Amino acid sequence: MSTAAFDPTPAGHGRTVPPEAPWWGNHLGELRWQAELARLLVDPVYHGAGVERGDGAPVVLVPGFMAGDVTLEVMRRWLVRMGYDAHGCGMVANVDCSDRAADRLFEQVVAHHERTGRKVAVIGHSRGGHFAKALARRAPEHVQSAISLGAGLDSPFDISTPTRAAVHAARKVHALTSDRIARNGCFTDTCRCKFTADFAGPTPEEVPLTSIYSKGDGVVRWRAAIVPYARCVEVTGSHVGLAFNRKVYAELARTLAAQTREPSSTLKGA
């Protein structure tokens, strides 16, 4: 696959699919996330009705680009109530160098594995989904399953033009504050960091990868989330709203129960 890092420049080689023509997305439509959150809070799935319970499996949640743990706090608290040992990853804003961020996430996953004696499920929203995929390859002995919400898994820059502009701005800041771009090509399509090898490499068969996407996504082209090596699940809704989507929550419950349950565990719905 491509050695592309988090830069909007298409690499256009290997298995990576270069982004299509400029696309402005539907950022106004992304305001739907507020209605999606309101709908979730009154939905039976949020209150656990008919939801398969976890058996204490550890879960780490990784937010999207420019977002922090707070954006996944509703999901984290729900997972805890559903029987999971769910944790944020300590991000205030997901804009750091991909390699540094992946190293910190790897350390957290290992720590949760050692603390609980159980492999960790990683759920990533948008850019967080890129990290979930990369961690699955880097640490299959520590990662039980990886779930991506609205992330391009072969073409991570198949995103709207305004989002590309934000990525470009982040790259400029990194170029002014670090020599990593000069040394390793970080935030460019020639990045040579370990994260790139993990993201671009094959996902281990023993770590199931699930890609949840919406054709109504106004930030990431939904086709970029469909890859042959993942179980791809379609829902309806916005990109931002994937963090609050009742259909996503129902799918998370099914997927996590199936992929993290220990053989002796018995799950019960409410």
For the chain, domains (ranges, CATH) are: 34-259 (3.40.50.1820)
pLDDT < 50 regions, the chain: 1-17, 270
Q: What is the pLDDT of residue 183?
A: 56
Q: Model-level pTM?
A: 0.89
Q: What is the pLDDT of residue 173?
A: 81
Q: What angle do CA 31, 35, 39 make, to 5 degrees?
A: 155
Q: What is the pLDDT of residue 15?
A: 44
Q: What is the pLDDT of residue 102?
A: 96
Kind and range of the H or E run holding 104: helix 98-116
Q: What is the pLDDT of residue 175?
A: 72
Q: What is the pLDDT of residue 167?
A: 85
In the chain, what is the greatest distance between 2 CA atoms, to the nearest angstrom?
55
CA distance 241 to 246: 9
DSSP 8-state class, residue 224: G
147: region left, alpha or beta (phi > 0 left; psi from -120 to 50 alpha)? beta
Task: Give the amino acid at 247.
Answer: K
